[in-house]
Chains A and B, each alone.
Chain A
Amino acid sequence: MTPELKGFVLVAVVKTAAVFTFLMLLVAYSTLLERWIASWMQDRIGPNRAGPKGLFQPIADGLKNLLKEEVIPDGANKVFFVIAPAISLMAALIIPLTIPWAAPIPLEFDMTLPVLGRFVHHGATPATVTVLPIGFLWVLAISSVGVYGIALGGWASNNKYSLLGGLRATAQMVSYEVAMGLSVIPVLLLVGNVSFVEIVSVQQQGPFSWLALPLALSAFIFLVSGFAETNRVPFDMPEAESELVAGYHTEYSAMKFSAFMIGEFTGMVTISMMFVTLFLGGWDIPFTHWDEAGGMLQVVATAGVFFVKMLFFLFLFMWIRWTLPRFRYDQLMALGWKIFIPMGLAYILYIAVALWLVDGPLGAASTALRFGLLFLFNIPVLVLVFRVLDRGRLIRGVSVHLPASASRPARAV
């Protein structure tokens, strides 16, 4: 191996280890955060016994889950039963590796280690484990693998509740994947690239260039589809404890159950990271170009900013969870297929036309002007969706509108 290759491998390994550790810690602590927020919103105190203020709770939970008995039901398909949580965990863990979480790291070293030899590395390293040119296409592809874990787990358990949960998960994730895919196409139209690094660099260009403004409806659809993708309330039909016991992981115990849970929480982290990267400027610090100058301080600051933005969305996930009741299944499917998919398609068309107008006849010279004009184009869409369509049409209420004659007393039985 040449010293350059060795340097590259070293950097890659260190980055992978760092991101993985960070993710696992974040996931562990987001379980604690979830329980805290749940209890605070219900006027309770929440976990506060393990360690100071309950901060060791995730460690206690993890240890407990490691030491518990693993139950594999008699009628279960052993092979699939065991690999299902692994699939779902792996698919969830692979995605965040492609997302840039800070400004490029200026890294120069030329060192000789005792046994391994000489390591050389030059130039800035992007602060992401791997720079994938296919960007969010990769994310869309891998996130559909995650559904295999859930569907397989539900089927292999040989339990009707698990199976129903698995089927629901499949239907739901497949349909919302379409909506999610459609909602990122406007990003592609505007940026002209699917790579996360490119998308972030476009959003750095000036104030108000975060894509959440010029592509507001996309951001909304993406966020809601993200909730559905991760099976979080109000879309947690696969678990639906009031109907399905615990859905697809009814039969799972100990660490395998934990694997599903880690998968779910990693999914939340991923969606938050993706939303921040696609629509909220990634690691960009707004109103300044200082963060692009390069340097170690900038790396730390931008990583911090990225973390704060992501944390807000994690909080949003939990906030919504403890606010909204679960949808009915038909509402969920109707929202996906009848609302979001046509809406996403129409929005692609609209943005395409708007972009043509902005770049062509209106001739916007600067990026700021271009994005500003696009935002103006968005206002009528937002008004249409949130003021007109939302009136009892987006989500159907539970009332059955009986004809007048049906309201007379029914016959005695």
Chain B
Amino acid sequence: MAIGVKVMQRPGREASYMRATLKGMALTFRHLFRRKVTMQYPEERSTETWTLSPRWRGTHRMLTDEQGRSKCVACGLCPQICPANCIKLVPGEDEEGNRYPLIYEIDEFRCVFCGYCQEVCPEEAIHVGVHYENAEYERGRFVYDLERLSAQTHPVSSLWDPTDPRGE
């Protein structure tokens, strides 16, 4: 296929550099007094025009039942679906035959925050959270264990709903 060369029609003779400059300067000068859009982050976390979406998929949180045990039944679905293969699950079983996770770790560095684990979980145990302040001093601290996942308190994500694609 032939490639068409688009020739831009640019103002040549009639364009005045000085006039354009002065116009530009007038524009930038007006901006000096415009309302500033900066959010003062640590003090100010949301404004009326900007809040974190409820569908935000951040670091995980494991929900717990009334006794404080995690809701996870170690079914193995989330490590199965996880595209990043970052969930480590070792199932255990107590005397009554209830399965529970002996080890449940999520490597947040490898996680791609797809939210599949939340979607697939039959017990609504693991969730991705509406949360984004994750700084740590060591890399090792980014592997969240069960205790840490259960201790999180931030709100959990309401994932994309196919019946309400725009979230209205």
Contact = CB atoms under 8 A, between A and B. Distances in A.
Interface of A: 37, 39-45, 319-320, 322-324, 386, 390-392, 394-395, 397-399, 401-402, 406-407, 409-413
A39 B7 CA distance: 36
A323 B11 CA distance: 20
16 contacts: A40-B32, A41-B28, A44-B37, A44-B38, A45-B38, A319-B28, A320-B25, A323-B21, A323-B27, A323-B28, A386-B18, A391-B15, A397-B11, A399-B12, A407-B7, A409-B3
Given A391-B16, A397-B11, A399-B12, A412 B28 contact: no
A412 B2 contact: yes
B45 interface: no
Given A40-B31, A319-B29, A413 B3 contact: yes
B139 interface: no
Interface residues of B, number: 31
A324 B15 contact: no
B10 interface: yes
Interface in B6-23: 7-8, 10-19, 21
A322 B27 CA distance: 11
Nearest to A48: B40
A43 B7 contact: no
Contacts of B8: 399
Contacts of A394: 17-18
Contacts of A41: 28, 31-32
Nearest to A411: B2
B36 interface: yes
Contacts of A398: 10
B34 to A, nearest CB: 5
A413 B21 CA distance: 41
Contacts of B7: 402, 407
B13 to A, nearest CB: 5
B12 A392 contact: yes
Given A40-B31, A323-B25, A392 B14 contact: yes
B20 to A, nearest CB: 9
Contacts of A39: 38
A256 B86 CA distance: 47
Contact of B35 (A37, A43, A392, A412): A43
7 A-B pairs with the lowest CB-CB distances in the bound complex, closest first: A399-B10, A45-B38, A395-B17, A409-B2, A392-B13, A323-B28, A323-B24
A390 B36 contact: no
